[in-house]
Amino acid sequence: MISRILVTGGLGFIGSHFLDLLLKNEEENVVIVNLDACTYAADISLNKQFEKHSNYKFIKGSITDRALLKELFLEYKFDSVFNFAAETHVDNSISGPGVFVDTNVMGTFSLLEESRLFWEANNLMKISKFLHVSTDEVYGQLGSVGMFTEQTPYAPNSPYSASKASSDFMVRSYHHTYGMNTFITNCSNNFGARQNDEKLIPTIVRKAINGEEIPIYGNGKNIRDWLFVEEHCEAIFEVFKKGNSGESYNIGSYNERTNINIAKEICNVLDESLPKKDGLSYSDQIKFVIDRKGHDFRYAIDASKIKKTIGWSSKKQFKKELKNTIDWYVNKYKI
């Protein structure tokens, strides 16, 4: 069905798992090009395993580079685009928002525009598809009840979520204005192997096994809805294959946890698998630190649309996959 695929940000956390899925499933004659700017968040070493597939091609470059995008469209004649490339860490967006606007807003615009120009010029608009990977953070924050649906008005609170919301609006406009077949997925927090060191779960594991304080923002009661990264990738692919053009799909697993609960669960797993020599629990290392500016209280996804219309739902193997994830980081960080 799909034959010439552009994946952006495929050396990042989620994009790399998506490439695993594509390379496993797609026929040898499907060309898969990964365009990644190789920022601090990319793991370039992953190319070694991806390059074992003869239909995989890596290009180092930015989605903000219109001339490069134009060249790539001419050379590879993409009919499918999956946009994972983004700046993604909320704390970084607070200390330096500019690059979030450059990549997430201007980069997504450049990708949309070069897709449109190529597809219109080659009469490919009707058969081509553009899937944009977004986040539940665009909806703002919830109180202790309720869930985000696809109808929840956007109310982003951080420069990160505002830049993602802006990119979602650009994608939406390309469907309504130019008839592009667009799909937006808004997913909750992901966990799994290969996440950048700066993110919550890698930080907790690393600090724990290094005997350092485990920093938790505020009182630790902020709530996130956690989904295993490989399930997220499966859901994205299902939306791409079966979704309605121009629509958005929330992806989540009804798995809400407070940050302190996540920290304690990780410490419990480590207490079992890697007991401390002094017999104490890793949870003694948890330390509450000054809260993130504008820290959203709660996110929760109503994932009933994707279940009803596409037939995807999470299999919810949280404990098992969290244990595998922790083992992966222990292996990465152990001295």
Ligand X SMILES: NC(=O)c1ccc[n+]([C@@H]2O[C@H](COP(=O)([O-])OP(=O)(O)OC[C@H]3O[C@@H](n4cnc5c(N)ncnc54)[C@H](O)[C@@H]3O)[C@@H](O)[C@H]2O)c1
Instruction: List residues binding ligand X (CB under 6 A).
Output: 8-9, 11-15, 35-39, 41-42, 62-64, 84-88, 103, 107, 133, 135, 164, 187, 189-190, 196
Q: Are 57 and 42 in contact (CB under 8 A)?
A: no
Q: What are the C-alpha distances in Å from 86 to residues 31, 42, 102, 103, 134?
A: 23, 11, 9, 6, 9
Pick between residue 163 and residue 285 the one whose CB is nearest to ligand X: 163
Pick between residue 59 and residue 330 the one whose CB is nearest to ligand X: 59
Q: Least distance to ligand X from the beta carbon of 66, Å?
A: 12
Out of 26, 36, 137, 230, which one is annotated catalytic? Answer: 137
Q: Are 285 and 212 in contact (CB under 8 A)?
A: yes
Active site residue 174: no
Q: Least distance to ligand X from the beta carbon of 269, Å?
A: 20
Place of tokens 């791409």: 240
Active site residue 91: no
SS3 308: helix
Pick between residue 88 and residue 128 the one whose CB is nearest to ligand X: 88
Q: What are the C-alpha distances in Å from 59 to residues 12, 44, 72, 168?
A: 14, 11, 9, 25
Amino acid letter, 302: D
Q: Are 220 and 258 in contact (CB under 8 A)?
A: yes
Out of 20, 26, 136, 225, which one is annotated catalytic? Answer: 136
Out of 160, 174, 299, 329, which one is annotated catalytic? Answer: 160
Pick between residue 44 and residue 289 the one whose CB is nearest to ligand X: 44
Radius of gyration of the chain (CA): 20
Closest residue to ligand X using C-beta atoms:
12
Q: Least distance to ligand X from the beta carbon of 131, Å?
A: 11
Q: Least distance to ligand X from the beta carbon of 27, Å?
A: 25
Asked whether the CA dihedral 66, 71, 74, 77 is positive or negative, the reply is: negative
Q: What residues act catalytically?
A: 136-137, 160
